[in-house]
Amino acid sequence: MDGDTLFSIGELARRTGVTVKAVRFYSDEGIVPPLDRTPAGHRVYGTDAVARLGLVRTLRELGLGLPAIRKVVDREASLAEVAAAHAEALDVQIRTLRLRRVVLTAVAGRGSTPEELDLMHKLARLSAAERDRLITEFLDAAYRGLDPGVVRSVTPVLPDDPDDAQVAAWVELAELTQDPGFVADTRQLVERFAAARDGGLAPPRPHIVAVVRATADLTLDPASPEARSIVDHVTAHPACPDDLPACLKAAIAPRHTRYLQLLARINAWPPPEPATPAVEWFLRALSVRRGSIGP
């Protein structure tokens, strides 16, 4: 095909696989202008229109808008520049769609109320700076005064490219941090354990729950002499608070346990080892031991 070959609008449409209506539209927009017109006023196109219209069709199928396409075909911007900008825009759209899917899946699974849906939607759309501010406010209210290293150990950090499970965990954890009751319970738990160290807010090492988990033996009868020895060891430990049963029950409260599970998922940490079985066994053994001692 030589450079003098001309195509009618219908021929151009057949060669490029687009409709006559689309060719006319792009022509009217100046994106694929005609080379000339016949004496009867019909548009005719040169061979360059075939390549130009093919590029336009491909870019449209990739989702680019007319302004971006115009810049490419008019060489106001390179194809690489426009492609990079469009890919970045698509990344934003994909993240938005993933967030919406996570929220809708959670609503479907939990039977959420309209108010809960609204809150979850707002939490899922927070920017990184807004997420940081929300978590910082929670940590200040619940863990104020603790060693910075301890605070970091309970700080969720959503990665830049989280998977669906991390996003879902973030939304659920953020909901928890917005619950005044959970904030108050967490603060009370912190203060209870802090009291085991001369009233200071730096928690003892090791944590009393860790002591219980390390020494409890679920195979033993809580009323056995061996269980009594374990109870005596734990209650004599320097980390043991005065109100040990209340502290242990608070430490394995469902919402506190859930927070730690969600935290691990968000931060891509190994799932926390469940403390509930060991603590419940120890509380039974403690009750037997104190009952045997008497008031």
pLDDT tens digits in sequence order for the chain, 295 residues long: 445 688 899 999 998 888 999 999 999 988 888 988 988 889 999 888 888 888 888 888 888 888 888 888 888 777 788 778 778 777 777 877 777 777 777 777 777 778 777 777 777 777 778 889 999 999 999 998 888 888 999 999 988 778 888 888 998 899 999 999 999 999 988 887 765 554 444 444 467 888 999 999 999 999 999 999 999 999 998 888 888 998 899 889 999 999 999 999 999 999 998 999 999 999 999 999 988 654 4
Count of domains observed in the chain: 2
Same domain, 142 and 27: no
Name the domain boundary from 41, 61, 77: 77
Sequence-ordered list of residues with C-beta below 8 angstroms from that of 266, at least 6 positions apart, any chain: 156, 157, 158, 162, 166, 169, 170, 173
Same domain, 188 and 268: yes
- pLDDT for 195 equals 59
In a domain, 131, yes or no: yes
Same domain, 194 and 70: no
Same domain, 176 and 240: yes
Interatomic CA distance for residues 277 and 241, integer angstroms: 20
In a domain, 111, yes or no: no
- Between CA 7 and CA 14, with CA 11 as vertex, the angle to 5 degrees is 140
Alpha-carbon 39 to chain mean position: 64
In a domain, 122, yes or no: no
In a domain, 85, yes or no: no
Same domain, 169 and 255: yes
Interatomic CA distance for residues 126 and 132, integer angstroms: 9
Same domain, 48 and 144: no
Range of the domain at 209: 127-293
- pLDDT for 201 equals 45
Give the chain's length: 295
In a domain, 276, yes or no: yes
In a domain, 107, yes or no: no
CA atoms within 13 A on the CB side of 62: 19
Q: Give the chain as a 3 state SS string.
A: CCCCCCEEHHHHHHHHCCCHHHHHHHHHCCCCCCCEECCCCCEEECCHHHHHHHHHHHHHHCCCCHHHHHHHHCCCCCHHHHHHHHHHHHHHHHHHHHHHHHHHHHHHHHCCCHHHHHHHHHHHCCCHHHHHHHHHHHHHHHHCCCCHHHHHHCCCCCCCCCCHHHHHHHHHHHHHHCCHHHHHHHHHHHHHHHCCCCCCCCCCCCCHHHHHHHHCCCCCCCCCHHHHHHHHHHHCCCCCCCCHHHHHHHHCCHHHHHHHHHHHHHCCCCCCCCCHHHHHHHHHHHHHHHHHHCC
Q: Is the dihedral of CA 280, 286, 291, 295 positive or negative?
A: negative
- pLDDT for 122 equals 77
In a domain, 218, yes or no: yes
Q: Which residue has the tokens 């100046």?
A: 30
Same domain, 68 and 131: no
Q: Residue 61, Cβ neighbours under 10 Å: how many?
A: 8
Interatomic CA distance for residues 108 and 54, integer angstroms: 44
- pLDDT for 9 equals 92
Q: Which residue has the tokens 């033993």?
A: 220
Rounded to two decimals, the pTM is 0.63
Same domain, 286 and 157: yes
- pLDDT for 203 equals 46
- pLDDT for 126 equals 77
Same domain, 73 and 131: no
Same domain, 267 and 181: yes
Q: CATH number of the domain that 59 lies in?
A: 1.10.1660.10
- pLDDT for 171 equals 87
Cis peptide before 206 (omega within 30 of 0): yes
In a domain, 266, yes or no: yes
